[in-house]
């Protein structure tokens, strides 16, 4: 295996999952503060109040990134640090924090890759309807403009949204993520307003005329397979819900016809106004792909057991698939499959894998070491799959491992560890895992095989 010389090896995190300091620097409240403090919503009642305390340990974490040899670091900007109430003038202390981060990255020759929205919506905006309201798309563009104006000289790669599917469906239909709504109609509204927010923010950022900067969006994509022949229709609907409902408007300027038809009784898509789809589909410089799993599905009409209730389907785990600590199947060939499919159906477009990684039940042993061999195997097989896709013509330009640090895994709290670096939450102590050492060699060799 060898990767192109300018291939960008990186790692990713997100604000609420690592920063802590929820009241530091004038930060306002986000929907995740509210949700995690609502009893019963997050495993063991964990919250992001302290998380990895990255806000106060910035220098130490930057040094770890340099030690790892990262070419890029993908992080997200917490909207409520920039606009504590979700609109109006920028909070200087909030912007300063990200300025220090970006400067620290530059000093260490690490390319900053900011994401503007990784789910921490200001609570004030949620109180006015959140992503079910069109106003939030407009507020998002205003906020994007503030951050871009401040940092676009120093950061070349910009991602508007992280995984709008998760924010829409887990947050508005399943109710297992903030804001915890439970309505299919609201999930559709959120989908459109998030995508519109992306379009408006992109327009706003392009108006700054920063030649050479690259703007994109990150989607969570999963190939979908029918468990049995009779599940083919269900598989097509799941693909429509998870993948095409986002890829089609962004890259073709239209919502998939079968989805519009499927949701006919829930919504007439009247929320789509003239000109919206043009804005949503304005060209991106790259597509960010987050990959975790293939969905193998069966038809399941029961709202109790369906994993995708709005399309009547349930996930099943193939017998031969290994499972991660999240219970997700590890099937590396599925990464190559989705990349080739996106390229064939929607491409060509430069792709950055903006997240991929595994939760492992790892721990620091008596010798202080964290031997996470499963993570090494997982990453190795997925790097190979990305390489296969590249040999099949997909323009993959970089790979961000999820995650730099163990962190707050949303509704799972701190029970799931995805990091290359172990975090002892009571003390905040960081311990690089075996995978950290291994990945640093991969980066050093640019993916090439070790010579024997």
The DSSP code for 449 is P
Task: Figure out which of the listed residues 9, 117, 402, 439 binds ligand IFM, where binding follows CB under 6 A.
Answer: 402
Contact characters 348-367, ligand IFM, x per CB under 6 A: -------x------------
Is 290 a binding residue for ligand IFM by CB under 6 A? The answer is yes
Residue with smaller CB distance to ligand IFM, 193 or 417: 417
C-beta atoms surrounding 304 within 10 Å: 6
The residue among 91 and 354 lying less far from ligand IFM, judged by its C-beta, is: 354
Closer residue to ligand IFM (CB): 169 or 418: 418
**Tokens 């399943």 -> residue:** 174
- Give how far Cα 7 sits from Cα of 63, 71, 159, 440, Å: 22, 9, 18, 14
CB of 448 to ligand IFM, least distance (A): 28
- 355: annotated active-site residue: yes
| 130 CB-near residues (< 8 Å, 6+ apart) | 31, 121, 136, 179, 190
Determine which one of 186, 299, 355, 374 is catalytic. 355
Q: Cα–Cα–Cα angle for 83, 85, 86, nearest 5°?
A: 60
Q: Does 231 bind ligand IFM (CB under 6 A)?
A: no
Q: Which helix (H) or strand (E) holds 385?
A: helix 373-391
CA distance 312 to 436: 41
Q: Which residues pair with 218 in a beta bridge?
A: 162, 288
| Least distance (Å) between residue 409 CB and ligand IFM | 5
**291 binding ligand IFM? (CB under 6 A):** no
The β-bridge relationship of strands 72-76 and 111-117 is parallel
Site size for ligand IFM, by CB under 6 A?
A: 8
Q: Which of 33, 53, 163, 388 binds ligand IFM (CB under 6 A)?
A: 163
Contact 245, 165 (CB under 8 A): yes
String marking each residue 4-23 x if it binds ligand IFM according to CB under 6 A: ----------x--x------
CB-nearer residue toward ligand IFM: 74 or 204: 74
Q: Which of 163, 186, 299, 331 is catalytic?
A: 163
Q: Three-state DSSP class for 87? A: coil
Q: Taking CB positions, which residue lies at the least distance from ligand IFM?
A: 14
CB 22 within 8 A of CB 392: no
Is 154 considered catalytic here?
no
CA 84 to chain centre: 22
Minimum distance from CB of 328 to ligand IFM (Å)?
Answer: 9
Give the pair of three-digit tokens for residue 248. 């089609």
Spatial distance between the Cα atoms of 197 and 203, rounded to a whole number of angstroms: 10
46 binds ligand IFM (CB under 6 A): no
Per the CB < 8 A criterion, the answer to whether 22 and 33 are in contact is yes
Nearer to ligand IFM, 97 or 292 (CB): 292
Residue closer to ligand IFM, measured from CB, 164 or 256: 164
Distance of closest approach, residue 355 Cβ to ligand IFM, in angstroms? 5
Nearest to 382 by CA among 438, 317, 331, 342: 331
Closest distance between ligand IFM and the C-beta of residue 359, in Å? Answer: 7
Q: Minimum Å distance from CB 290 to ligand IFM?
A: 5
Cβ closest to ligand IFM, residue 146 vs residue 293: 293
Report the catalytic residues.
163, 355
Question: Which residues contribute to the site for ligand IFM (CB under 6 A)?
Answer: 14, 17, 163, 290, 355, 402, 409, 418
């Amino acid at each position: 295996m060898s990767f192109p010389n300018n291939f960008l090896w990186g790692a990713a995190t997100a604000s609420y999952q690592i920063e802590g300091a929820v009241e530091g620097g004038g930060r306002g409240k986000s929907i995740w503060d509210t949700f995690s403090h609502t009893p019963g919503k997050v495993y063991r009642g964990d919250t992001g109040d302290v998380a990895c305390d990255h806000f106060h340990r910035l220098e130490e974490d930057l040094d770890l990134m340099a030690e790892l040899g990262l070419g890029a670091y993908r992080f997200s900007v917490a909207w409520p640090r920039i606009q504590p109430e979700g609109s109006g003038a920028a909070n200087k202390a909030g912007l300063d924090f990200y300025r220090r981060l970006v400067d620290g990255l530059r000093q260490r020759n690490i390319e900053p890759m900011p994401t503007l929205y990784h789910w921490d919506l200001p609570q004030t905006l949620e109180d006015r309807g959140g992503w079910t309201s069109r106003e939030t798309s407009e507020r998002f563009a205003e906020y994007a403009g503030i951050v871009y104006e401040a940092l676009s000289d120093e950061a070349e790669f910009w991602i508007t949204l992280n995984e709008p599917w998760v924010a829409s469906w887990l947050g508005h239909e399943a109710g297992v993520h903030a804001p915890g709504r439970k309505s299919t109609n609201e999930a559709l509204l959120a989908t459109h307003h998030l995508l519109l927010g992306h379009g408006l923010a992109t327009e706003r950022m392009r108006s700054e005329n920063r030649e050479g900067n690259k703007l994109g969006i990150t989607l969570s994509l999963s190939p979908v397979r029918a468990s049995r022949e009779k599940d083919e229709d269900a598989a097509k609907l799941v693909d429509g819900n998870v993948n095409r409902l986002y890829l089609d408007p962004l890259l073709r300027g239209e919502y998939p016809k079968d989805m519009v038809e499927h949701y006919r009784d829930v919504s007439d898509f009247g929320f789509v106004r003239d000109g919206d789809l043009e804005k949503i589909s304005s060209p991106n410089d790259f597509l960010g792909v987050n990959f975790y799993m293939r969905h193998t599905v069966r038809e399941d009409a029961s709202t109790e057991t369906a994993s995708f209730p709005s399309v009547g389907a349930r996930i099943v785990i193939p017998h031969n698939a290994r499972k991660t600590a999240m219970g997700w199947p590890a099937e590396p060939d599925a990464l190559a499959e989705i990349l080739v499919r996106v390229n064939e159906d929607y491409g060509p477009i430069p792709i950055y894998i903006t997240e991929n990684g595994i939760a492992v039940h790892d721990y620091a042993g008596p010798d202080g070491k964290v031997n996470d061999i499963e993570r090494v195997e997982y990453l190795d097989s997925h790097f190979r799959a990305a390489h296969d896709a590249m040999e099949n013509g997909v323009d993959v330009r970089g790979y961000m491992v999820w995650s730099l640090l163990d962190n707050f895994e949303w509704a799972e709290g701190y029970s799931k560890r995805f990091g290359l670096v172990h975090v002892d939450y009571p003390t905040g102590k960081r311990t690089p895992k075996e995978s950290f050492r291994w990945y640093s060699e991969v980066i050093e060799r640019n993916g090439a095989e070790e010579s024997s």
